[in-house]
Structures are given as structure tokens and as C-alpha cells.
Chain A
Amino acid sequence: MSDEIRTILKEHGRLSADATTLGDDADLYKVGMTSHASVNVMLALEAKFDIEFPDRMLKRSVFETIASIREAVEELTSGR
């Protein structure tokens, strides 16, 4: 799942660093992800994993790192 998240970040995150080599805990906002880019990342994740981020997950910390994104996606896809 982390590789798929990295691919989405590479395509939509507009990062100044290479998403494929970023650590799981690297701060994505510190490597250039804007709030608008985070919207695109969220929409791409929803399409990729067939999920919808609920209101409670629409906050900065959910999209802050690859690890936090993975945790959110895992929660939304669990029990399938």
C-alpha cells in the first residue's frame, strides 16, 4: 500500500522531493505539498482504493506523512 500511496503522491502531491524515496514519516508539507495538492491526493486515493474520506479525516495530520495516510486508508478499507 505504501508504494501505491507514493505513486499517488508523485503524481498529485507536487512535492519538491521524490516521493518514491521519501521516508514513511517525512513531513509532506515540508517538502512542498500545498493544501490544494492535498485535495488532489485525497481524491486520487479515493479513486485508487474505492473509499471516501469522511469529515473526521479531513484534517492536516491525516495527510502529513505517508504513514498517516496509510493508517487512514487501512482504517477505511478494513473489514472488506
Chain B
Amino acid sequence: MEHDPSPASRSLPTLPEIRGTGAFTLVGGDVVDVAQVAQSIATFGDRYLRRVFTDREVSHCTAGGRDPAPHLAARFAAKEATFKALRPGDASLDWRWIEVRPRADGSCGLRLYRGMRALAKRRGVRRLELSMSHDGAYAIAIVVGDVSLPPSTTGSSRDNLRRTHRR
């Protein structure tokens, strides 16, 4: 049987529900050593960039000839923070299924693809917000997600949604 890399069909770790509200807050954070990212670029070059980051992310982080390492380190932290927030268990996940996208106001948001999109949908995620920063040697990212069961969801269908989160 062919392996299904999507987390959509796998059992997932339980999320902590805010008692009695049907609401969940997902949080993930990560810190990355900028020098390690620079070393990975120096050692593995395009192979590293292509396996971890989307073309759009690489283009953004190398624009204008700036040092890409701090920006890529922040993006790697964002990807790892997203993994931690969504708790995929041991599902097969590609780093490029999470993309950091700059917004017009200067902040950055997340766009999910394929298996990560399926995972977020299964988790019932309504919104994911990202904050990144880098200073000197380190880059950090925090991801917060809102999951709430709609008020109109009652009875057995609400219980079914809860069970999804408890798997």
C-alpha cells in the first residue's frame, strides 16, 4: 500500500481545550542560530535552500544582495514554530509546505500548502498569526493559532469536533 504522507489521516496529539468553551489556542515557538543557517548555505548551497525554503522565500531573503542568513533563520524558526503549534505527531511534513509571506504593512504571515494545509484544516484552525525577529546571533519566531468550535455547533457534531482534537 502506498504511504500517505498527509497528516490528514493520522492520529494527532491532543490539544488543550480551554475548559468548557470549545476554544483552543495553539502556540509554538522556536529559536535558530543564524550562524548555523549561514553554515548550511555555505556547505550545501542550493540543495539546502531548495529543500527547506520556497522559491518566493529565497528570492525575498536574497533581494538586494543582503545577507540572507538572518532572514532565512527567522523563516526556519517560523516553520518549526508552526510545526510545534499544530502538533503533527510523526506525520511526514515538508518544510516548504509552510511559507512566510510578507504583508503590505511590513508584518509577515503564513501560507500553508498540501500536508500542512490539511493538518490545519483537521485541527479546525481559523487563524494563524506569526511574529519573527532576529538580533545578532539568533532568530526567533512565535506562532499563535485560534481554534474555536462555532457556537451553532451543538450536540453530537460538537462532540465529534472535540474528539478530533483529542486524538
Contact = CB atoms under 8 A, between A and B. Distances in A.
Interface stretch (B11-19, B35-43, B98-106, B130-138): B35-43
A3 interface: no
Contacts of B95: 39, 58
B76 A40 contact: no
Contacts, number: 50
A8 to B, nearest CB: 12
B118 to A, nearest CB: 13
| B interface bracket (residues with beta carbon within 8 Å of A) | 20 to 34
B74 interface: no
Contact of A58 (B43, B48, B92): B92
A66 B90 CA distance: 17
Given A35-B80, A39-B52, A60-B90, A55 B5 contact: yes
A60 B90 CA distance: 6
A36 B36 contact: yes
B94 A55 contact: yes
Interface string A32-58: 000111011011101100000001111
Q: Is the interface of A mostly helix, strand, loop or mixed?
A: helix
A59 interface: yes
Contacts of B32: 36
Interface in B19-57: 32-33, 36-37, 40, 43-44, 47-48, 51-52
Interface of B: 3, 5, 32-33, 36-37, 40, 43-44, 47-48, 51-52, 76, 80, 83, 90-95, 115
Given A58-B92, A58-B94, A59-B91, 19 more contacts: A35-B80, A36-B33, A36-B37, A36-B76, A37-B36, A39-B40, A39-B48, A40-B40, A40-B43, A42-B51, A43-B40, A43-B48, A46-B47, A47-B44, A55-B92, A56-B5, A57-B92, A58-B95, A59-B92
Interface of A: 14, 35-37, 39-40, 42-44, 46-47, 55-61
